[in-house]
Amino acid sequence: MTTKVASEGGIGRRAAGHPWFHRLSRGGLVSRGILYLLVGWLAVRIGLGIGGGKEADRKGALQTIVETPGGTVALWGMTLGFAGLALWQFSEARYGKPVPDGDKATKRLTALGRAVVYTAGLASTLGFLLGQGAESSDEQSRSYTARAMAEPGGRWLVFAIGAAFIGWGLFVLGHALRRTFLKDLKTGQMGRTARRLVEPLGIAGNTARGLVGGAVGGFLVHAALTFQPDKAKGLDGTLRQFAGTPAGRWGLIAVAVGLLLFGGYSFCEARWRKVEAVPARQGR
């Protein structure tokens, strides 16, 4: 049995280290970049008062893609990329990240969390492609929150999920301000011009992403504490709330531009992100 498990582990490690697996992972980063570019653009349009009825979330982005010539084919390609993202993160959860101390339990758990999120996004995209439609992020958030709160202890589960989003948002903000995202990149392969481009994109893009993620968590916590599921908001509703800050619609536009920049940063990650599996250790 031990030999069989070791053999299966070796096969999995070799698969995760195959060049085609790396290409699929990088393709997933491109797909993620396209999604953020579209969500950011839709949010900018909402901020300018020309939203056109589309939500600034995954559903709105998918609708935008499928309405363009060749959009369905492009969406299937992006779906393959999203599958690559999920598999890549599952491999990092199993074998560790290709960075110093990348096999620590905390880093593996983080990768597992990303894998679950990417898998959910993949399922949502597949459902859209197969004609099952897609709920807006606000509808999903309110629906899932209401179902959870209907169960014993569900209110505190919603609270815990909201707190986790807030924690994630703070982590991403710290990631941006401390520039630790550069540790995941092959900076040694970058020229001076590329470095000058990638660093500000990563800072601005991750800052916007952290703000939005933390705000989503804040609405979930508020819904749990007030026992009002309708207070929960998805990506679209959260972005629109930035227009209600003292900065007004320019607050929404600023965050939306940040998401656009994260889309651009995702393309840089597709070029320079370390996606190789951690080499097998001797004696394991």
Which has more confidence, 262 or 138?
A: 262
Domain-embedded: residue 280: no
Q: In this predicted structure, what is the pLDDT of residue 163? A: 95
Lowest mean pLDDT among 48-62, 149-163, 201-215, 242-256: 48-62
Q: In this predicted structure, what is the pLDDT of residue 157? A: 93
Domain-embedded: residue 106: yes
Q: In this predicted structure, what is the pLDDT of residue 283? A: 41
Give the three-class secondary structure for 31: helix
Q: In this predicted structure, what is the pLDDT of residue 14? A: 61
Domain-embedded: residue 278: no
Domain-embedded: residue 284: no
| Residue span of the structural domain in which 205 resides | 2-272
Give the residue-averaged pLDDT of 245-255. 90
Domain-embedded: residue 45: yes
Give the residue-averaged pLDDT of 214-237. 91
What's the pLDDT tens digit per position in 203-214?
999 999 999 999
Q: How many domains does the chain have?
A: 1
Give the residue-averaged pLDDT of 43-52. 86
What's the pLDDT tens digit per position in 113-128?
888 889 988 888 888 8
Q: In this predicted structure, what is the pLDDT of residue 281? A: 47
Residue 47 pLDDT greater than 80, yes or no: yes
CB-CB neighbours of 239 under 10 Å: 29
Residue 170 pLDDT greater than 50, yes or no: yes
Q: In this predicted structure, what is the pLDDT of residue 66? A: 87
Strand partners, 185: 273
Lowest mean pLDDT among 39-48, 121-130, 217-226, 260-269: 121-130
Q: In this predicted structure, what is the pLDDT of residue 1? A: 46
Write down the pTM of the prediction: 0.87
The contacts of residue 51 (CB under 8 Å, 6+ apart) are: 42, 45
The contacts of residue 111 (CB under 8 Å, 6+ apart) are: 89, 90, 92, 93, 97
**Identity (one letter) of the amino acid at 216?**
V
CA distance 82 to 127: 13
Domain-embedded: residue 277: no
Average of per-residue pLDDT values in the chain: 85
Is-contact 50 263, C-beta < 8 A? no
The contacts of residue 157 (CB under 8 Å, 6+ apart) are: 148, 151
Q: In this predicted structure, what is the pLDDT of residue 35? A: 94
Domain-embedded: residue 155: yes
Q: In this predicted structure, what is the pLDDT of residue 3? A: 47
Which has more confidence, 283 or 52?
A: 52
Nearest to 26 by CA among 107, 102, 85: 85
Give the residue-averaged pLDDT of 229-243. 89
What's the pLDDT tens digit per position in 12-27?
566 666 677 788 889 9
Token representation of residue 252: 């929404």
Domain-embedded: residue 110: yes
